[in-house]
Amino acid sequence: MSFFITTPIYYPNGEPHLGHLYTTVCADVVARYHRLCGQQVHFLTGTDEHGIKMVKTAAELKTTPAELATLNANVFRNFFAEFGISNDDFIRTSQERHKSRVQEIVRKLEASGDIYLGAYEGWYDEGQEEFITETEAKDADFKSRISGRPLVRYKEPTYFLKLTKYVDSVYRAIESDQLQVRPASRRNEILSKLKGWDQDLSISRASLSWGIPMPNDPAHVLYVWIDALSNYITAIGYPNHPEEGYDRFWPAHVHLIGKEILWFHAFYWPVMLIALGLPLPKTLFAHGWWTSNGAKMSKSMGNFIGLERLRDVVERFGQDALRFYMLRASPFGNDLDWSDTDFNASYGELGNVLGNLLNRSLNMLQKYREGVIPAAGEAGPEDEALERAIADFPSQLAAAYETLELQRAAQLPLELARAANTYIDQTKPFSLAKDPSKTARLDQVLGLMLRATQVALAGAIPVLPGKAPAGLLQLGIDAKGLTLNQLLAPLSPGHRVGQASVLFPRIEVA
Ligand code: ME8
């Protein structure tokens, strides 16, 4: 079984920030879960280097777009590596592999009669690299609904892609869930925007030289979104080198994106794929936007969560704490707000619930059974609820990942740990230990509590790829190379655990 997941490719016109890290961490968590299940996973991210936005930023910085792109593409790549992202590939749209394959794609679209020469007159949002209809422009007072900057009027000869020829096919694909657009509210927005859509898409610029030349007319460069969307297949070798991954990985299972770029992914991209005769991706998931302390992040407001701030957080709390916080911050798909108070609460939860359970179970097993898992003992009335929670856990986790309920995926291991802590409070192993007639009951309680700890830690690996395996190692389980099923297999009586050491140390909050 193979699994292909992508993030947007980011504009390297500046340094990465919380938003970029968020999408990439979410994709990383999903990729790690599928790898843990033993699937062959391909996880793709990268940078989107062409377009007017790069040209303008480079001019402001008195450099060239190529130099700016290289500088920041390296910053992005290193940033993701530094933050433990497990991507399998990093595509830059300035790479030869991408440019030549995009030209092949455009040639195919020309050959199938889906591209024609015409003239465009209308509005353009240069920050978003997006064409805006007359009505939308008027509704937004001729300003970008993302950046607030004035829209620009374009009037020029251009090649068009025949969106109108495929609008019904795309509508049907989304309506039938052949192409799942999630969350459902956004699917409905897309369907209503598609209904009655009657415009083709301008896909070339004659006034721009930074981009991929149109193969039939090199005086034009290709519209940056056609170039960028193609990365999802050029990176895996389409069209001429399918053995590089296309054969195994297309169609993608998930394109993870921010909500502001859903339209491109839900309309232009499916049109391109249908016109090329290729299968559609299975799911487009558009997540929400981060604000910081209730406001849009901005450097001048002093609430910007950029590279330096993220580094600082990781230095103090560790990568896993940041990952858990991001996932826990709101149901996946909703907007999110960064708050230090919430961050501290979320870190506290890791320590008080999961860390505490690990510590208690190991210490008790050391104290009462010299660190050796006993055979099952005497069942008691408290066992059933925890046994059920343990038994239900793997399928609940699988369902959360299947539907991309990532907040739930992060919380499920904590819920199990909480149930195990309650079980300890109810069964009071410290009292049982004092009563020689309760030896068999104590065996049972220790065994079940250890089992819950093992299952919770194993299920937490995708979200806590550093801390969860470290916790399992304390249990005497080396998680390296093992699948989730193997990690969930009950430990045999006689198995010896290690010593407890604190997973989430208390941190003084300034
Ligand atoms: O749109 N909250 O690139 P981009 C949450 N190159 N996510 C955020 C965010 C925020 N405040 N800010 C950014 C582009 N993101 C195109 C994509 S894909 C073929 C081409 C994340 O650098 C989110 O995933 O503007 C959003 O969609 C993406 O960064 C936009 O990155």
Q: How far is CA 123 from CA 292, 354, 355, in A?
A: 31, 53, 55
Beta carbons of 477 and 486 less than 8 angstroms apart? no
89-92 and 201-202: which strand pairing? unpaired
Q: Can you read off the two tokens belonging to residue 483?
A: 């699948």
Beta carbons of 284 and 7 less than 8 angstroms apart? no
Q: Can you read off the two tokens belonging to residue 383?
A: 């066992």
Closest ligand 1 atom number to CA of residue 288: 5
Q: Cβ atoms within 10 A of the Cβ of 226, count? A: 24
Helix (H, G, I), strand (E, B) or coil at 479: coil
Centre of ligand 1 to C-alpha 37, Å, is 29
pLDDT, residue 509, reads 67
Query: By C-alpha distance, which of 116, 262, 110, 125 is closest to 181?
Result: 262
Beta carbons of 106 and 214 less than 8 angstroms apart? yes
Residue 91 bridge partners (DSSP): 46
Instruction: Return the residue matching tokens 């990985």.
Output: 249
Per-residue pLDDT of the chain (510 residues; tens, 9 = 90+): 999 999 999 999 999 999 999 999 999 999 999 999 999 999 999 999 999 999 999 999 999 999 999 999 999 999 999 999 999 999 999 999 999 999 999 999 999 999 999 999 999 999 999 999 999 999 999 999 988 999 999 999 999 999 999 999 999 999 999 999 999 999 999 999 999 899 999 999 998 999 999 999 999 999 999 999 999 999 999 999 999 999 999 999 999 999 999 999 999 999 999 999 999 999 999 999 999 998 888 777 788 999 999 999 999 999 999 999 999 999 999 999 999 999 999 999 999 999 999 999 999 999 999 999 999 999 999 999 999 999 999 999 999 999 999 999 999 999 999 999 999 999 999 999 999 999 999 999 999 999 999 999 999 999 999 999 999 999 999 999 999 999 999 999 999 999 999 999 999 765
194 in ligand 1 pocket by Cβ < 6 Å? no
Following DSSP, what letter does each residue of 227-281 receive, concatenated?
HHHTHHHHTTTTTT-GGGTHHHHPSPSEEEEEGGGHHIIIIIHHHHHHHHT-PPP
Residue 258 bridge partners (DSSP): 287
Beta carbons of 237 and 244 less than 8 angstroms apart? yes
Beta carbons of 175 and 280 less than 8 angstroms apart? no
Strand order in the sheet with 152-161: 130-132, 115-125, 152-161, 201-202
Contacts of 361 (CB under 8 A, 6+ apart): 420, 424, 446, 449, 450, 453
Residue 255 bridge partners (DSSP): 6, 284
Counting Cβ atoms within 10 Å, is residue 508 exposed (0-12), middle (13-18) or buried (19+)? exposed
Q: Residue with the nearest Cα to atom 7 of ligand 1?
A: 19
Domain 339-488 coded CATH 1.10.730.10:
yes
Closest ligand 1 atom number to CA of residue 256: 24
Contacts of 316 (CB under 8 A, 6+ apart): 507
Centre of ligand 1 to C-alpha 19, Å, is 7
Residue 205 bridge partners (DSSP): 221
Query: By C-alpha distance, which of 181, 164, 327 is closest to 262?
Result: 181
Residue 89 bridge partners (DSSP): 44
20 in ligand 1 pocket by Cβ < 6 Å? yes
Beta carbons of 154 and 124 less than 8 angstroms apart? yes
157 in ligand 1 pocket by Cβ < 6 Å? no
229 in ligand 1 pocket by Cβ < 6 Å? yes
Q: Can you read off the two tokens belonging to residue 153?
A: 């009027």
Q: Where are the domains of the chain?
A: 339-488
Helix (H, G, I), strand (E, B) or coil at 195: coil
| Number of residues assigned to the chain | 510
Cα Rg of the chain (Å, integer): 26
What backbone torsions phi and psi does residue 466 show, to the nearest 5 degrees?
Answer: -95, -50
pLDDT digits (tens, 9 = 90+) for 128-166: 999 999 999 999 999 999 889 999 999 999 999 999 999
pLDDT, residue 298, reads 78
Mutate to test the pocket of ligand 1, among 15, 92, 257 (most ligand atoms within 8 A of CB): 257
Q: Residue with the nearest Cα to atom 29 of ligand 1?
A: 20
